[in-house]
């Protein structure tokens, strides 16, 4: 298993149950079926790696295509105290107070800390962009400690980015990996089962795989006590 070369295939296996290879690649397909190709999304060509394979450091799409599913997604309870949501959820003061949420993690560089001036919540900003160059793993431990603080205080915690699809979902998946014996795949499927719209970008998936490797090798210790409520059927 080579993490860099196999990451796209691992990503595909998680994202869909069925996929096929196009003989000759996209260029060959476009020559024969140009009417079936959409040129609205332009990606840079991936450079050749020294081993002859395509490197995975090529430019990835930077924006999330807005769909009705994403637009209409409800605030999602992942665990009894841990909620995954979007910008609109962070603005909904009545809802987050009703859910006993006392902690909020904002995983963006630009969205305001909504209701911060009211002094009702403990806030943490993790300044991250949803890009193929963002190091999100640098914030994992900081996020875990904040989530655990909410957990120990008996308060709910809302973690959100702009859409609750990539950045904040990655943090939640990593938290489950840290505090249970879930593999990255199990944690991904657990969160996706609760919130089907999640889709961490390829860069973040790679960081989760590296995090899993460190957990398995003991480089980063798991914390298994106290046991999390709500994942008993998984771990």
Please list the active-site residues: 161
The number of residues in the chain equals 235
Strand partners, 122: 103
Sheet order of strands, 101-106 included: 76-79, 82-85, 156-160, 101-106, 122-125
């Amino acid at each position: 298993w080579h993490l860099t070369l196999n990451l796209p295939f691992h990503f595909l296996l998680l994202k869909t149950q069925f996929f096929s290879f196009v003989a000759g690649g996209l260029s060959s397909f476009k020559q024969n079926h140009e009417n079936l190709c959409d040129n609205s999304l332009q990606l840079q060509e991936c450079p050749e790696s020294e081993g002859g394979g395509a490197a995975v450091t090529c430019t990835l799409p930077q924006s999330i295509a807005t769909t009705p599913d994403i637009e209409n997604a409800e605030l999602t309870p992942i665990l009894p105290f841990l909620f995954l949501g979007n910008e609109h959820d962070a603005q909904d003061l009545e809802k987050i107070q009703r859910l006993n949420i006392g902690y909020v993690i904002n995983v963006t560089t630009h969205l305001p800390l909504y209701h911060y001036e009211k002094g009702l919540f403990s806030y943490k900003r993790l300044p991250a962009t949803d890009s193929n160059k963002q190091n999100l793993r640098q914030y994992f431990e900081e996020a875990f400690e904040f989530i655990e603080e909410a957990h120990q205080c008996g308060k709910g915690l809302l973690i959100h980015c702009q859409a609750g699809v990539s950045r904040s979902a990655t943090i939640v998946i990593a938290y489950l990996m840290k505090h249970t014996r879930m593999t990255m795949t199990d944690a991904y499927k657990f969160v996706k089962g609760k919130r089907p719209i999640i889709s961490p970008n390829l860069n973040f998936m790679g960081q989760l795989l590296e995090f899993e490797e460190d957990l398995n090798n003991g480089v980063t210790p798991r914390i298994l006590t106290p046991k999390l409520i709500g994942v008993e059927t998984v771990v």
